[in-house]
Amino acid sequence: MTIKERIEQHFFQLSKSQQKVATVVLNNPAYISTHAAAEIGQLANTSETTVIRFCYAVGLTGFAQLQKEITRFLVEDYASSTLGNYVSSKEALFKEQALCEKVMRQSSAKVVKIAEQMDEELFKNTTKAMHDAKKIYIAGVGASQFGAQWLHYTLNMLRPGVELIVMETSALIRKLQEIDETTLVLIISLHRYYNDTLQLAQEVLARGAKVIGITDSNVASLHEVIDTCFVLEQKELSTIDLMPALVTFMNSLIVGMMSHDVAYYNEQRLKFDDFQTSFIANRWR
* Position 16 confidence tier, pLDDT thresholds 50, 70, 90: very high
Q: In which order are the strands placed within the sheet that holds 229-231?
A: 162-164, 135-140, 183-189, 210-215, 229-231
113: part of which helix (H) or strand (E)?
Answer: helix 99-116
Which pLDDT tens digit goes with each residue over 50-99?
999 999 999 999 999 999 998 887 766 554 445 555 565 666 666 777 78
Name residues whose C-beta falls within 8 Å of residue 82's C-beta, 6 or more positions apart in sequence. Answer: 143, 191, 192, 237, 238, 239, 240
Residue 278 has pLDDT above 70, yes or no: no
Name residues whose C-beta falls within 8 Å of residue 22's C-beta, 6 or more positions apart in sequence. Answer: 7, 10, 11, 14, 54, 58, 219
- Judging by beta carbons within 10 Å of its beta carbon (0-12, 13-18, 19+), is residue 42 exposed, middle or buried? middle
229 close to 217: Cβ distance less than 8 angstroms: no
| pLDDT for 277 | 60
| pLDDT for 107 | 81
Which residue ranges does the chain devote to CATH 1.10.10.10? 3-77
Question: What is the spatial distance between Cα 89 and Cα 82, in angstroms, rounded to a whole number?
Answer: 11
Better-scored residue on pLDDT, 237 or 119: 119
Please check whether the domain covering 111-260 is classified as CATH 3.40.50.10490.
Answer: yes
Give the domain 3-77 fold. Arc Repressor Mutant, subunit A (1.10.10)
Lowest mean pLDDT among 2-6, 60-64, 161-165, 237-241: 237-241
| pLDDT for 2 | 82
Tell me the whole-structure pTM to 2 decimals. Answer: 0.67
Residue type, 159: R
